[in-house]
Structure 1
Amino acid sequence: MTGRAIPPRTPVLVGVGVAMRREEDWTQALEPIDLMLEAVRSAGANSGAAALLAEVGMVAVPRGRWRYRNPSGEIARAIGATGATTVVSSVGVLQQTLIADACQAIMDGRVECALVTGSDAGYRLLRAKMCGVRSEERDQDDEPDVRLEPKAELRHPAEIAAGLKMPVGLYAMLESARRAASGQSIEAHRDRLAARYARFAEIAAANPDGWTRAVLNAATIRDDGPRNPMQAFPYTRAHCSTWNVDQAAALLFCSAERAAALGIDRSLWVFPLASAESNHMVALSARADLVRSPGVDLTARAVLETGGVAAADIDLIELYSCFPVAVDAFADALDLPPDRDLTITGSMAFAGGPYNNYFFQATARAAALLRQGAGRTALLSCVSGILTKQAFALWSTDPPRDGFIRRDVTAEVAAATAELPVVENYTGGGQIVGCTVLHARGEAPRAVALIDIDGGARALAVSDAPATIAGMERDEWVGRSVRVIAGALAA
């Protein structure tokens, strides 16, 4: 688009800031809101026009593992943006939704500048817990102007009853379904995941904002050990998002007109081209297809069509990596070759996965690389829930031809998604469609299976039998016919 005028309302990312601390003494660590403020001020300085912060008309923050009621309000007051609309989103709202909302507000002329920031202080929480105390945070008694909430629960009650309290077990169940569909053996599949994550660790080691700089080999990642325990087969700790981190990120947006008026260096401008998201929610156990995700497939198609690009032509790619199956789902939807690097951060396992904030860290990294000339385009994927909601964001150093475009494909995804009833405390026969073995610290392992039963319904069944647990980690149980008695797998 060289030589063409940029429409004045075009949203531009002009400032990025990150903050990271690793204090062994939790009393010396920053509170989450102070991490955010550090990142916010860094974003202001990064733009070369720190005074822009006082002009912000919207401040949006996704909820982390903190108890603040309105961190957006405190941030707005701290930067002098006292008239800003304050937004706080709950867990279950896509992080990309906040970015798209900010860009849309600029496009529509509702605000001239917008700030999106988030943080989590999981390391601070961990260090306090190790001292036998609960980390303290300052009180807030005000409310944000806007509070975004998901429209439904992210998990089915039957999943919680079966012991699937943490996301790792549910994602591992999706992993088993994809493994069986691929025809790979359990051992070959584990080797493939380990090799991919070893590459992720290499990338994280070169990321200046990454939490872990150690390069792990595939064998260390693949197999459980004292420092890498099994979490939910086949996932060891090294396959999972590292959320015990103190990290924050801030993204400062303004209109192209305002950026030009302030004299912000054109080399700092990064343009959001397109956003695509699906907010259709179906609990994992009720999904008729555990292998392909209509939400992932349709958001991928929408963002590429809207941006007018092919996935093969995108320079930088960051696929959401809370667990390995999410990476594969997005890579398949984009039809990416197996030798393509799928992260620019090093993944949530190694770069750090602050609770409900990682996508901002990844976006900041993408912007930094684009500014450095590592490419002209970047594509990032986003997840909320158990691969429940999905989104993509497309960025470029070149301005969009038709302005920033936001696509919501929720209705199309709902129409393409088949949902099954889930029966609790089931007795009868059926066929396993997904399974895992849960390994929790201080608890005996537990096998969990999701089963297709008569009448086009689903049921969850569990087993504590050592033979069943060993068999499920050795042989392929997806597709096996089983008997269930009151929610327990029969021997």
Structure 2
Amino acid sequence: MAEFPANVPVIVGVGFHQERNEDPTQCSEPYQLMVQAARAAAADAGSEELLRRIESVSVPRGMWQYRNPGRLVAEALGCSRAKSILSDLGVLQLTLLSELCQSIAAGERTVGLVTGGEAQFRALRAMITQQRVTDTEQPEETPAPDVHLTSSDPFCSDLESRRGLNLPVEYFAIIESALRCHQGLSVDAHRDRLAALYSSFSEVAAGNPHAWRREMVSPEDIRNPSAKNPMLAFPYTKRHCSQWNVNRGVAILVCLLRVAQELGLDSSRWVFPVVTVESKHVVVLAQKRTLHSQPGTVLCGQRAFALAGITPADLTAAELYSCFPAAIQSFALDLGLDGVCPLTVTGSMAFAGGPYNHFSLEGVARMVEVLRAGGRPHRFGLVSNLSGIFGKQACVLLSDVPRPGGYAYEDVTEAVAKIDQFVPLNEQYTGPATIVGYTVVFQRDHPSHAIAICDTPAGERTVAKSEDAFLLEAMMREEFCGRLVEITAGGGFRL
């Protein structure tokens, strides 16, 4: 590989550590899961020496309360001088990997670890069994992370919140309705298609050794609500949604190509980050001009493929972010991947398990395993990520061969901002309006209310709510996207 730049970053090891013990007192806490995953990554690379050489430990914030998780992990691994890096919720999960790759390419680091861990199954079992479990408490004098990546971008608008939009499942169900309308499917045909798609994902998860749930689920058991599979926000049942009650850690070891060569690591197992492209231009859902398609995703994909010198047809597989079905379908649409390659190698967050804020790292680690498995030369895999309600988008291309010009990173935020303009909101509007996306929210197995995002004749947007039982039933039988409704004082709507 002498013809390639000496500063090429390469993924030399990936590790997973998962625990299923139903006794919560026998389960590891989150940082310990990260440590075990890191040790597994070093074993995967074939070098314990790598752990001592780690110069940075990067961790996305989870549901735990550690002040400086990178420091805990570094001390446990014997690399206590490593820089600790923490990213908050709202920062793209792939940012930590791209930051490390950029640093290696710039000659600033030679070996780094990106890791994440959650123990929500432990917490769930502790609640069920009424047993007490605790996490390590770092004292107040613990130094802050050396680098702390934060985000102040909004999750939603005040109007959306005031009109009753609360949970991510409700927002993504609204995006789902817009996708259905774009696809030209009837409500029932769309539910059938969604169930078949997710049943196929459960089959992928069954073949993924790291998946939390490894049995196939029939389309009927996904589509239709039941005691164990309640409807949450039409058309989403529980089995359409990310499952974060897992005990799992993941770790990715990245080093300078020269270091991998010096250590004599097995080059047949190396996978190269080729390109990462990110868009951080945030538009809340109600103000997006198109709910089903994201300009940031489109541009990220275009630039990533151009920088890598490939097309979607060159992909071996993809791991598209899958917190809810609308996410994976919108990514597939905007990246041009429908019918081109598998959309998941993990089995999706619904079946593989979707830890709170690091699943994209698991997607990268699993993609490394898939690309190592062989097949045609010059294999490529794509992993995508979003933050918020599709507020930010990113994708990384991985390959068994490095990019001739070295690792490439591009931030397309400014370019996306020029084309992705906000639609103004009008909270006081009353009168006729056209629904562009909606859902029916369930509470205790019964439809509670509908939320609709609507266009006004003046080109503004409003958000409205209805509790009319007959209207709610109709909205689950017939397509209401594109329908004209009457917005009433106080934010209600009726036919």
TM-score (norm 2): 0.95
Match of 1:261 in 2: 262
What's the CA shift for 1:127? 1.7
Q: CA distance change for structure 1 residues 411 and 490 in 2, over 3 Å: closer, same or farther?
A: same
Match of 1:171 in 2: 172
Match of 2:420 in 1: 417
In the alignment, is the contact (CA less than 8 A) between 1:314 and 1:377 conserved in 2?
A: yes
Separation (CA, whole Å) in 2 of partners of 1:480 and 1:407: 40
How many residue pairs were aligned?
A: 489
Match of 1:298 in 2: 299
Q: CA distance change for structure 1 residues 327 and 442 in 2, over 3 Å: closer, same or farther?
A: closer
Match of 2:151 in 1: 150
In the alignment, is the contact (CA less than 8 A) between 1:248 and 1:357 conserved in 2?
A: no
Q: Report the AA paired with residue 486 of structure 1.
A: G
Q: Kindly report which structure 2 residues correspond to 1:100-179, keeping only aligned pairs within 5 A, or say none.
A: 100-131=98-129, 135-140=133-138, 141=140, 142=142, 143-179=144-180
Q: Report the AA paired with residue 104 of structure 1.
A: Q
Deviations 1:283-304 (A, max 9, x none): 1111122132101111011110
Match of 1:219 in 2: 220
Separation (CA, whole Å) in 2 of partners of 1:425 and 1:134: 49
Match of 2:27 in 1: 29
Deviations 1:409-460 (A, max 9, x none): 1111111102122233654331111100112447752211111124322111
In the alignment, is the contact (CA less than 8 A) between 2:229 and 2:238 conserved in 1?
A: yes
Match of 1:83 in 2: 81
Larger mean Cα displacement after TM superposition, 160-169 or 196-205: 160-169
Q: Kindly report which structure 2 residues correspond to 1:391-406, keeping only aligned pairs within 5 A, or say none.
A: 391-406=394-409
Q: CA distance change for structure 1 residues 338 and 436 in 2, over 3 Å: closer, same or farther?
A: same
1:39 paired to 2:37: yes
Larger mean Cα displacement after TM superposition, 429-438 or 372-381: 372-381
Match of 2:491 in 1: 487
Q: Report the AA paired with residue 70 of structure 1.
A: N
In the alignment, is the contact (CA less than 8 A) between 2:230 and 2:445 conserved in 1?
A: no
In the alignment, is the contact (CA less than 8 A) between 2:275 and 2:407 conserved in 1?
A: yes
Deviations 1:65-99 (A, max 9, x none): 11111101111122222222211111111111110
Q: Report the AA paired with residue 473 of structure 1.
A: M
Separation (CA, whole Å) in 1 of partners of 2:368 and 2:292: 32
In the alignment, is the contact (CA less than 8 A) between 1:426 and 1:486 conserved in 2?
A: no
Identity of aligned residues (%): 42
Q: Report the AA paired with residue 487 of structure 1.
A: G
Separation (CA, whole Å) in 2 of partners of 1:322 and 1:245: 14
Separation (CA, whole Å) in 1 of partners of 2:89 and 2:391: 12
Q: 2:476 is paired with a residue of what secondary structure?
A: helix
In the alignment, is the contact (CA less than 8 A) between 1:92 and 1:150 conserved in 2?
A: yes
Q: Report the AA paired with residue 171 of structure 1.
A: F
Deviations 1:334-387 (A, max 9, x none): 323437421111111111111111111111111112222156221111111111
Match of 2:56 in 1: 58
Larger mean Cα displacement after TM superposition, 311-320 or 94-103: 311-320
1:319 paired to 2:324: no
Separation (CA, whole Å) in 2 of partners of 1:427 and 1:414: 30
Deviations 1:243-292 (A, max 9, x none): 11111110001101111111111112111111111111111111122132
Match of 1:74 in 2: 72
Q: CA distance change for structure 1 residues 425 and 18 in 2, over 3 Å: closer, same or farther?
A: farther
Match of 1:473 in 2: 476
Separation (CA, whole Å) in 2 of partners of 1:424 and 1:237: 32
Deviations 1:26-45 (A, max 9, x none): 22221111111110111112
Q: 1:170 is paired with a residue of what secondary structure?
A: helix
Separation (CA, whole Å) in 2 of partners of 1:329 and 1:442: 28
Q: Kindly report which structure 2 residues correspond to 1:175-254, keeping only aligned pairs within 5 A, or say none.
A: 175-254=176-255
Match of 1:274 in 2: 275
Q: CA distance change for structure 1 residues 469 and 386 in 2, over 3 Å: closer, same or farther?
A: same
TM-score (norm 1): 0.96
Q: Report the AA paired with residue 137 of structure 2.
A: D
Separation (CA, whole Å) in 1 of partners of 2:105 and 2:168: 36
Q: CA distance change for structure 1 residues 374 and 242 in 2, over 3 Å: closer, same or farther?
A: farther
Separation (CA, whole Å) in 2 of partners of 1:120 and 1:270: 26
What's the CA shift for 1:144? 0.5
Larger mean Cα displacement after TM superposition, 430-439 or 452-461: 452-461
Deviations 1:75-133 (A, max 9, x none): 11222222222111111111111100000110111111111000111212222232457
Separation (CA, whole Å) in 2 of partners of 1:379 and 1:343: 10
Q: CA distance change for structure 1 residues 243 and 283 in 2, over 3 Å: closer, same or farther?
A: same
Match of 1:450 in 2: 453
Separation (CA, whole Å) in 1 of partners of 2:250 and 2:375: 21
Which 5+ residue runs of structure 2 have no aligned equivalent?
none
Q: Report the AA paired with residue 468 of structure 2.
A: A
Which 5+ residue runs of structure 1 have no aligned equivalent?
none
In the alignment, is the contact (CA less than 8 A) between 2:24 and 2:131 conserved in 1?
A: no
Q: 1:147 is paired with a residue of what secondary structure?
A: strand
